Structure 1
């Protein structure tokens, strides 16, 4: 048992990988969504650290809750955003998010009731409906921390250089190459689920990258430690992100991403949202070390 896990009672996890330090990359010179300030490609040096091989699972988060009696923000607020394709017929009149009407604020939805229907989550799937503040509370208990963007990208590359995905540059498609859990079909109304999953997949699924890390892209977005800062002074970029001060940075994309709509299951892709937000596709994993 890892010393961090043994000390905290954090035993329901899938292991921790050693991530070597050295020169790495951050960003890209081939931005697909320039509005997110994905470029330019920069070289950076990374100290060695350790990282969870998977995102935190429902079983692991339950251990934390049972040990601390922690109550997540969605539980205190009383609702969380659920993707429309996961709603029951009775829930389809739940309030919608105006700029993204496929999200509905569902009463009672939270990490242990992800659809707001009283149905328990799968223990080995990523915990979702957790805010940035919830992830920070878990990290303190588990003896870890959320990664920086540079650490996350370095780990996601798995020892490869300037590549688009954790496995290289081969693009996923809707027919015969499914290296990660993303959308197939026409978003947001028709998901063929050709990869075998309509929503989340088990946290330890698909092939790991070169550092033994699973699902670094797709499945669920991962909270990082950093603010969502825009590395650009271009007026159009700054205008598009007006009002997003205080947002936190997420990496990796999710099961709702598709090249035709949200091409953010790439290593350099990035997104930001408020630290008190929670949805069906936001999770996290921890790193350990200074």
Structure 2
């Protein structure tokens, strides 16, 4: 077995969900060839090794052109990324701009802003990586990013028709299996929650894979459309935000921000469309090999 990888056997897996969010439907059978996948998301230590070897500069660290972001406030045209900030108290959950803040200086090295560091997060998943950053790392490692079908097949761990990577009960016998939001979202998490955790902090699924639910969303190569996968970048734009015209790829798995009262997406069927040039403090990735 290659170091740090788990073999996923060729199979026909039942993916998607007809009982949760519309973008996950329909439930369907998909044939997937054998592949190998990282046991956990790429960590800050691993990404730092890549940067040291290549001198790579992530999207969040590069200068921003005003031509790419028309009508954006001048103060936002600085290298940076989107950072989650707890609110002072209860808020209207329809307006996520209350807890997502564009933060100049935020990057994989500075995950919650320019004065933060990864010194105590060496074994946490790397975050603030755009799709290009994850893809470039994968190529450097001689690997690839997974497709949505590969990712979800691996996440299910051989289980069919269950809601979570471990079964249908979110906390069987009171035991927690993932880093998702516990407490009042988005202002009062239980102690120890409301942020990333070290990879492998919770039990693995039946394939031996860690954090296939919660902790961070993970990039795939699949183009996103609300009704399923899109064929190409041109079909993956968000029609609700035509002014930005950024193609989107599917991210999977949910994150530490998934709260049952707001975002029940720490499930293998869950999916979101993420603009390819936008990293955030709850998005990372893992790699596969064929």
Question: What is the TM-score with the length of structure 1 in the denominator?
Answer: 0.83
Find the counterpart in structure 2 of residue 188 from structure 1.
186
2:56 corresponds to 1:70: yes
Deviation at 1:119, TM superposition (A): 3.0
Q: Deviations over 1:62-117 (max 9, x none)?
A: 00000000000001141111111399xxxxxxxxxx75220111121100111224
Aligned counterpart, 1:33: 21
TM superposition shift of 1:245? 6.5
Q: Report whether the alignment pairs 1:120 with 2:108.
A: no
Give yes or no for the alignment of 1:212 onto 2:204: no
Greater shift, 39-48 or 116-125, is seen at 116-125
| 1:103 corresponds to 2:100 | yes
Is residue 198 of structure 2 the alignment partner of residue 199 of structure 1? no
Partner of 1:19: 8
Gaps of 5+ in 2: 64-78, 89-94, 229-235
Shift in Å at residue 230 of structure 1? 2.7
Question: Cα offset for 1:275?
Answer: 0.4
* CA RMSD in angstroms, aligned pairs only: 2.4
Secondary structure of the residue aligned to 2:151 is helix
The offset of 1:159, in angstroms, is 1.1
CA-CA distance at 1:231 after TM superposition = 2.5
Specify every segment of 5 or more residues in structure 1 that has no aligned partner in the other structure, as ranges.
Answer: 3-13, 88-97, 233-237
CA distance in 2, matches of 1:210, 1:86: 37
Q: TM-score, normalised by structure 2?
A: 0.83
CA distance in 1, matches of 2:174, 2:183: 13
Partner secondary structure for residue 86 of structure 2: helix
What displacement does 1:241 show? 4.8
Q: Do the aligned residues in 2 keep the contact of 1:219 with 1:254 (CA within 8 Å)?
A: yes
Partner SS for 2:225:
coil
Contact 1:86 1:115 in 2 (8 A): no
Task: State the 4+ residue runs in structure 1 displaced beyond 3 angstroms.
Answer: 240-245
Aligned length: 257
Does the C-alpha gap of structure 1 residues 241 and 208 become closer, same or farther in structure 2, counting only changes over 3 Å? farther
Counterpart for residue 168 of structure 1: 167
